[in-house]
């Protein structure tokens, strides 16, 4: 199959870029030092490539991701790094023999783990991102409570999500240290073998966590590209030019329903300035001096945010130039 035969908009992954990112990360954080976050790609076939790169433990954001990873035989050690109030479906996954660890930050979520049949938990600690996680000084009490209710506490997690995207490396380095002091303080009270944290933007700066939960590194996006990390942009959305206006702009069939837009407009791979996206359209202008576009031309759009972009698509095509090497189902979508 050739990329010209793909129906657009189509999610396209450059095979060489993907391999570069897998290799680069596996060299920096080998084996269990990385717990790849599958929410970035939602694709068991890609998770298998991460296994081939040496990683056997995974981070998930949804129950559906845990179920899909376990069903695909990738359930050696799955962390649901998120709170749930009904863990029944997770208990069913545990009953199949997969290892599932659930983040908890309250009595209600501890009860949910116990009642649902999940036996292992991690105390989720708030290290500054206004999202889930208990206060660091409350972590010991929650761990005791979980133990008293018959759960095994594997340690702590604390995601520094407010830091990972800061463009200034020194600032990231400085701030991540403060976050991890809080997490280590909580770990002292909780105990256990796991201190789990970090993302793509702090993968090499967060030297306090025992394992890093990076996900975006494997495909990247324009937001993370600004950080000067050693990972390359391997993901584009292939689109078709459907209209060319003589006044100087062109329109392709890749709108905000095919792109995660919360980090801003995407970039055209050829450098053409993007004017705006609407539901099913992207409007852009040719760069000065370029021959312009014709209806039917294929163009590549680089998303600003990898995770929500992928969640819009059912299939991911792995390509080498114009050749489609493999087509993978984005099979961990939904909740
Ligand atoms: C709990 C958690 N850990 C880790 C990450 C890291 O992801 P990324 O690789 O995109 O920085 C995220 C992303 O939002 C997250 O929610």
The confidence score (pLDDT) of residue 198 equals 98
How confident is the model at residue 113, as a pLDDT?
Answer: 98
Residue 82 Cα: closest atom of ligand 1: 1
Residue 200 beta carbon below 6 angstroms from any ligand 1 atom:
yes
- Is the separation of the CB atoms in 26 and 55 below 8 Å? yes
Give me the sign of the Cα torsion angle 314, 317, 322, 323: negative
Beta bridge pairs of residue 153:
121
**For residue 273, what pLDDT is reported?**
96
Tell me the C-alpha to C-alpha distance, in Å, between residue 285 and each of 107, 258, 276, 302: 55, 20, 10, 15
pLDDT at 290: 83
Residue 260, ligand 1, Cβ within 6 A: no
Q: Is 201 in the pocket of ligand 1 (CB under 6 A)?
A: yes
What are the average pLDDT values for consecutive 10-residue runs of the chain, which has 335 residues?
A: 96 98 98 98 98 98 98 98 98 98 98 98 98 98 98 98 97 98 98 98 98 98 97 98 95 98 96 97 91 95 98 98 98 97
pLDDT of res. 279: 98
Q: Any idea of the CA torsion for 103, 95, 56, 163, to the nearest 10 degrees? A: -10
**Dist. CA 213 → ligand 1 center (Å):** 6
- Give Dmax over CA atoms of the chain in angstroms: 72
Q: Reduced to 3 states, what is the DSSP secondary structure of residue 264?
A: coil
Phi first, then psi, for residue 270 (nearest 5°) are -85, 5
Pocket flag, ligand 1, residue 199 (CB < 6 Å): yes
pLDDT at 149: 98
Q: Which of 239, 241, 240, 245 has the alpha carbon at shortest distance from 259?
A: 239
SS3 label, residue 282: strand
Separation of CA 273 and ligand 1 centre (Å)? 29
At residue 108, the 3 state secondary structure works out as: helix
CA dist 45 and 239 (Å) reads 24
d(CA 208, CA 154): 17
Cα of 199 vs centre of ligand 1, distance in Å, is: 5
Tell me how far apart the alpha carbons of residues 132 and 29 are, in angstroms, rounded to a whole number.
26
pLDDT at 288: 83
pTM recorded for the entire structure: 0.97
Task: Select from 59, 156, 159, 196 the residue to mutate for testing ligand 1; criterion: most ligand atoms less than 8 Å from CB.
Answer: 159
């Amino acid at each position: 199959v050739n990329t010209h035969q793909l129906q657009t908009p189509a999610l396209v992954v450059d095979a060489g870029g993907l391999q570069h990112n897998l290799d680069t990360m596996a060299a920096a954080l080998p084996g269990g030092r990385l717990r790849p976050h599958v929410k970035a790609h939602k694709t068991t076939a890609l998770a298998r490539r991460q296994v081939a790169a040496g990683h056997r433990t995974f981070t998930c954001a949804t129950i559906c991701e845990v179920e899909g990873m376990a069903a695909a035989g990738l359930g050696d050690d799955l962390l649901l790094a998120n709170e749930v109030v009904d863990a029944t479906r997770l208990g069913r996954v545990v009953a199949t023999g997969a290892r599932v660890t659930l983040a908890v930050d309250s009595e209600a979520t501890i009860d949910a783990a116990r009642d649902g049949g999940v036996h292992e938990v991690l105390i989720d600690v708030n290290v500054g991102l206004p999202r889930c996680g208990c206060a660091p000084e409350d972590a010991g009490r929650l761990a005791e409570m979980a133990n008293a209710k018959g759960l095994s506490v594997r340690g702590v997690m604390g995601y520094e999500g407010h830091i990972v995207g800061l463009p200034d490396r020194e600032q990231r380095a400085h701030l991540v240290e403060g976050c991890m002091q809080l997490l280590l303080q909580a770990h002292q009270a909780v105990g256990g073998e796991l201190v789990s944290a970090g993302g793509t933007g702090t993968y090499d700066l967060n030297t306090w966590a025992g394992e890093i939960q990076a996900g975006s590194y494997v495909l990247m996006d324009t937001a993370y590209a600004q950080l000067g990390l050693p990972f390359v942009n391997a993901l584009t959305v292939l689109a078709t030019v459907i209209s060319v206006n003589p006044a100087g702009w062109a329109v392709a069939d890749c709108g905000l329903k095919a792109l995660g837009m919360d980090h801003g407009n995407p970039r055209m791979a050829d450098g053409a300035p993007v004017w705006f996206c609407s539901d099913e359209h992207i409007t852009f202008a040719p760069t000065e001096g370029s021959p312009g576009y014709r209806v039917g031309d294929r163009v590549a759009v680089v998303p600003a945010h990898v995770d929500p972009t992928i969640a819009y698509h059912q299939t991911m095509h792995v390509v080498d130039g114009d050749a489609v090497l493999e087509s993978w189902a984005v099979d961990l979508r939904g909740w």
